[in-house]
C-alpha cells in the first residue's frame, strides 16, 4: 500500500491509544508513541524504504523492531493486525474519550466497562443523569469536570491555522499590554514554534500584581468563559471555545518558564536529559545544580542563560521539535534561519486577467512598497476555466503588456513574464511548448484530477519537471489545511526529478496551503533542492502572506541559501543554466 508518513504515523498512534485504553505495558505504549512522532517528522518515505530496503527502518533512531514490523505490515498488507484484534473488543469511538482533559485511560476504561459508554454523546447523557459520580473513583466534581471537557474533546481536531492564531495573539497582546500591572508578556507553546495549526494559546507574564493581570484578562472583548482561575494561572475560552492560558511568573524564572512552555515536549525531554548528565535539573522555575539533597538555582531569568548554562545554543523556537537541533548543536552548525527581510522577489501571483483582484500596475506598486526587487505575473492557464484561464493567444498578449510595462519603470525593479500552467489529467502541459518557451517563469501545478492514483499524479508531476520550460512545481501536494488532505504523490520521486532536472519546488505561503509542509521543506534542504517561497497573491493584500511561508520555512530549517528568491533574479536565471 502507498501511504505517506503522516498516514503511517496516524495508524501507529492509533495503536498506542488502543493499547493505552486496554491497559497494556507502558513501555510498549511509549515506544509506539515515540515511533509515531519519528515517522511523522522523518523526511524520507517509509513506503519507499519498505519497498526497497526495509532494513533501513530499524537504523532510524526512535524506531525499534516492533514499530518497524508494524510499519512493514501496514504497507504490505494494508492493515495492522494488532489494531484489528483490539477493535474486536474495543469500539474505535471510545478513543474520543481519551481526548477529554484529565480523564485518562483508566477512567475512560472504567466508563466503558461499567456504563458501556462508547461515545461523547453517551458520556454527556450519563453525566447529566448523575450516573458517573456514582462510580468508584469518581465524584460530583469529577463528573462536572468531564462534562466541561466534553466540548473540548469534541473540538479536539478543530485546531486553527497559525495565521488565525496570530491575529488572535496580536489582539491579546495589545489588550494585555495596556494593563499597568503587566511588566512583560510573551507567547509560548505551539504558536511560538510556528506549527501550521494551533490548538490553544499560551501567554506568560511578569507581574507583581497577578490579580490585576487576571482581571484585565477577563475583560478581553472576545472572552466567552473562564475555565479556571488560581493565584498565578488563568484559562479562558474565546472565539467559539478556543482556549487561552495565562501564567504569571517571577522575573528570576521567566526565561525558564518561557523555554518550558514553548516546548515541544520532546525538545524539553532532551533538554532535561542533557541537564541530568551535567548534574543539573531544569524545569519551568529555573536550572538548578544538584548537590545531594541541595538544589542551587544557576539560571532562569532568560532563555539564553538557560541554554547557555547547559552548554547549548539558544535554539530558535521554530526548530524546537527534537528533530535535528541537537545534532546541529553538537556539530556547531546551528543554521541561521531565514528572515522575511531576506526575500527579494515574489514569483507567484495573479491579476484581473484571470481570478485576481488587482492589475499588473497595482501589484507592482504594492510589491515595491514592500521592498521587493522583482515579481512574476503568473495568471492561470486555460484549463482553469472557472478563473478565466489564459489561452495561448491571451497569455502572449499579456506578456507583450509586461514588456511594455517594464519599459516604463525604473531599472531597479523588474516584472517577469510568467504563467501558472496546469498539468493536464492525462499528463503534459496546458499550453504548447512554443508558447511556454517565451516565458521568463513557468509554474506547473495540479488543480484537477487530484483523486487519481499515486502513480498517476506522480507521473504527471515528474513529467512536468522534465519539461524544459517548466521551472517549478507549485503547491506540490495540493493540500488545504483543515479542509483537504494532500493528494497521493510519491514525494521521493518528485524530489529526485527536481534534482535530476535542476528544477525548484514551491513553498506556497498562503496560510490555507503552506505547501510544502515543514518536513518536506527539510527533505528538500537535505537534497539541496532550491525552494521558492511565494505568496500566490490574488490581491494587493495577498502579498502579505509571505510572512507565513517564512515561519513554515524556518520550521524546515531553511536558511536564505536554501530559498532561491532571496537572490537577485539574475542569479536565479543562472542556476537553471549552470
Residues of the chain with CATH 1.10.150.110: 5-87
Higher pLDDT, 146 or 381: 381
Tell me the pLDDT band of 159, cut-offs 50, 70 and 90.
confident
Mean pLDDT of the chain: 92
Tell me the pLDDT band of 24, cut-offs 50, 70 and 90.
confident
Write down the CATH superfamily of domain 160-249. Beta Polymerase, domain 2 (3.30.460.10)
Calculate mean pLDDT across residues 504-517. Answer: 96
CA-based end-to-end distance of the chain = 39
Residues of the chain with CATH 3.20.20.140: 340-577
Which pTM was predicted? Answer: 0.82
Provide the CATH number for the domain formed by 340-577 in this structure.
Answer: 3.20.20.140
Worst-scoring range by mean pLDDT, 131-140, 281-290, 469-478? 131-140
Distance from C-alpha of 442 to C-alpha of 43, rounded to nearest angstrom: 27
CA angle 51, 54, 57 (to 5 degrees): 125
- Evaluate if residue 350 carries a pLDDT over 90: yes
Cell 533512531 belongs to residue: 61
The pLDDT tens digits for 282-293 are 999 999 998 888
**From residue 338, how far is each of 192, 320, 341, 410 by CA, in Å?**
16, 16, 9, 28
Higher pLDDT, 150 or 462: 462
What is the DSSP code string of 152-189? HHHTTT-PEEHHHHHHHHHHHHHHHHTSTT-SEEEEEH
Tell me the pLDDT band of 1, cut-offs 50, 70 and 90.
low
Taking residue 524's Cβ as centre, other Cβ atoms within 10 Å add up to 26
Q: What pLDDT is attached to residue 152? A: 64
Provide the CATH number for the domain formed by 271-331 in this structure.
Answer: 3.30.210.10
Distance from C-alpha of 177 to C-alpha of 162, rounded to nearest angstrom: 22
- Evaluate if residue 154 carries a pLDDT over 70: no
Contact 302, 254 (CB under 8 A): yes
The pLDDT tens digits for 246-291 are 999 999 999 999 999 999 999 999 999 999 999 999 999 999 998 8
Tell me the pLDDT band of 240, cut-offs 50, 70 and 90.
low
Q: Is 1.10.150.110 the CATH classification of the domain at 5-87?
A: yes
Calculate mean pLDDT across residues 407-433. Answer: 94
Write down the CATH superfamily of domain 92-154. 5' to 3' exonuclease, C-terminal subdomain (1.10.150.20)
Tell me the pLDDT band of 108, cut-offs 50, 70 and 90.
confident
Cell 498539468 belongs to residue: 423
My answer on whether omega of the bond before 264 falls inside 30° of 0, hence cis, is: yes
Of the chain, the percentage scoring pLDDT greater than 90 comes to: 69
Cell 532571496 belongs to residue: 566
Q: Which three three-digit cell numbers place residue 542?
A: 495577498
Distance from C-alpha of 348 to C-alpha of 546, rounded to nearest angstrom: 11
286 strand-pairing partners = 283
Distance from C-alpha of 220 to C-alpha of 228, rounded to nearest angstrom: 15
**From residue 374, how far is each of 164, 174, 364, 560, 563 by CA, in Å?**
29, 34, 8, 17, 15
**From residue 44, how far is each of 225, 457, 463 by CA, in Å?**
44, 19, 21
Residues of the chain with CATH 3.30.460.10: 160-249
Residues of the chain with CATH 1.10.150.20: 92-154
Strands 472-473 and 223-229: unpaired
Angle subtended by helix axes 104-115 and 120-128, to nearest 10: 80
Strands 414-422 and 504-508: unpaired
Worst-scoring range by mean pLDDT, 141-145, 376-380, 480-484? 480-484
- Evaluate if residue 93 carries a pLDDT over 80: no
Tell me the pLDDT band of 153, cut-offs 50, 70 and 90.
low
Q: What pLDDT is attached to residue 118? A: 87
Buried b (16+ CB within 10 A) or exposed e, 468-505: ebbbbbbbbbbbebeeeebbbbbbbbbbebbeeeebbb
Read off the DSSP letter of residue 423. Answer: B
297: exposed, middle or buried (Cβ count in 10 Å: 0-12, 13-18, 19+): middle
Amino acid at each position: 500500500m502507498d501511504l505517506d508518513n503522516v498516514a503511517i504515523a496516524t495508524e501507529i498512534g492509533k495503536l498506542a491509544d488502543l493499547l493505552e485504553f486496554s491497559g497494556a505495558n507502558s513501555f510498549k505504549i511509549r515506544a509506539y508513541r515515540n515511533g509515531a512522532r519519528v515517522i511523522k517528522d522523518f523526511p524520507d518515505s517509509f513506503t519507499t524504504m519498505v519497498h526497497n530496503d526495509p532494513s533501513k527502518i530499524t537504523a532510524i533512531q526512535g524506531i525499534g523492531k516492533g514499530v518497524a514490523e508494524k510499519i512493514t505490515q501496514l504497507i504490505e498488507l494494508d492493515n495492522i493486525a494488532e489494531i484489528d484484534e483490539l477493535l474486536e473488543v474495543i469500539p474505535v469511538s471510545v478513543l474520543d474519550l481519551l481526548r477529554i482533559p484529565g480523564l485518562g485511560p483508566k477512567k475512560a476504561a472504567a466508563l466503558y466497562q461499567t456504563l458501556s459508554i462508547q461515545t461523547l454523546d453517551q458520556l454527556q447523557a450519563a453525566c447529566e443523569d448523575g450516573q458517573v459520580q456514582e462510580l468508584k473513583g469518581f465524584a460530583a466534581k469529577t463528573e462536572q469536570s468531564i462534562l466541561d471537557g466534553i466540548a473540548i474533546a469534541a473540538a479536539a481536531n478543530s485546531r486553527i491555522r497559525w495565521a488565525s492564531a496570530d491575529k488572535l495573539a496580536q489582539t491579546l497582546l495589545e489588550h494585555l499590554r495596556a494593563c499597568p500591572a503587566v511588566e512583560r508578556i510573551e507567547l509560548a507553546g505551539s504558536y511560538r514554534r510556528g506549527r501550521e495549526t494551533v490548538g490553544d494559546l499560551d501567554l506568560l507574564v511578569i507581574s507583581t500584581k497577578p490579580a490585576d493581570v487576571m482581571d484585565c484578562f477577563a475583560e478581553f472583548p472576545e472572552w466567552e468563559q473562564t475555565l479556571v482561575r488560581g493565584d498565578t494561572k488563568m484559562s479562558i475560552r474565546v472565539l467559539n471555545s478556543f482556549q487561552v492560558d495565562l501564567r504569571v511568573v517571577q522575573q528570576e524564572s521567566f526565561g525558564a518558564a518561557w523555554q518550558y512552555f514553548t516546548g515541544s515536549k520532546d525538545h524539553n525531554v532532551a533538554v532535561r536529559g542533557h541537564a541530568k548528565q551535567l548534574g543539573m535539573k531544569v524545569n519551568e522555575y529555573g536550572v538548578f545544580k544538584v548537590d545531594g539533597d541541595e538544589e542551587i538555582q544557576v539560571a532562569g531569568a532568560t532563555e539564553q542563560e538557560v541554554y547557555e548554562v547547559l552548554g547549548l545554543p539558544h535554539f530558535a523556537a521554530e526548530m524546537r521539535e527534537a528533530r535535528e537541533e541537537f545534532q546541529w548543536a553538537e556539530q556547531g552548525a546551528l543554521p541561521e534561519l531565514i528572515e522575511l527581510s531576506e526575500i527579494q522577489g515574489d514569483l507567484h501571483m495573479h491579476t484581473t486577467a484571470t481570478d485576481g483582484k488587482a492589475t499588473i500596475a497595482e501589484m507592482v506598486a504594492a510589491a515595491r512598497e514592500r521592498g521587493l526587487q522583482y515579481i512574476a505575473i503568473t495568471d492561470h492557464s486555460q484549463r482553469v476555466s472557472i478563473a478565466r484561464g489564459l489561452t495561448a493567444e491571451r497569455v502572449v498578449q499579456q506578456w507583450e503588456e509586461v514588456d511594455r510595462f517594464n519599459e516604463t519603470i525604473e531599472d531597479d525593479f523588474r516584472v517577469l513574464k510568467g504563467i501558472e500552467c496546469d498539468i493536464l489529467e492525462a499528463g503534459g502541459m496546458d499550453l504548447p511548448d512554443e508558447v511556454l518557451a517565451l516565458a521568463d517563469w513557468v509554474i506547473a501545478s495540479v488543480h484537477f484530477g487530484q483523486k487519481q492514483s499515486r502513480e498517476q499524479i506522480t507521473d504527471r508531476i515528474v513529467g512536468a519537471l522534465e519539461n524544459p520550460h517548466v521551472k517549478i512545481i507549485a503547491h506540490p501536494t495540493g493540500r488545504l489545511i483543515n479542509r483537504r488532505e494532500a493528494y497521493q504523490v510519491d514525494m521521493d520521486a518528485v524530489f529526485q526529478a527536481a534534482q535530476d532536472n535542476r528544477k525548484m519546488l514551491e513553498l506556497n505561503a498562503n496560510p490555507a496551503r503552506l505547501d510544502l509542509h515543514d518536513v518536506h521543506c527539510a527533505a528538500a534542504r537535505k537534497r539541496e533542492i532550491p525552494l521558492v517561497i511565494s505568496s500566490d497573491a490574488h490581491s494587493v493584500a495577498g502579498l502579505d502572506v509571505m510572512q507565513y511561508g517564512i515561519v513554515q520555512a524556518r520550521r524546515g530549517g531553511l536558511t536564505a541559501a536554501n530559498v532561491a528568491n532571496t537572490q537577485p533574479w539574475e542569479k536565479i536565471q543562472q542556476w537553471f543554466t549552470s
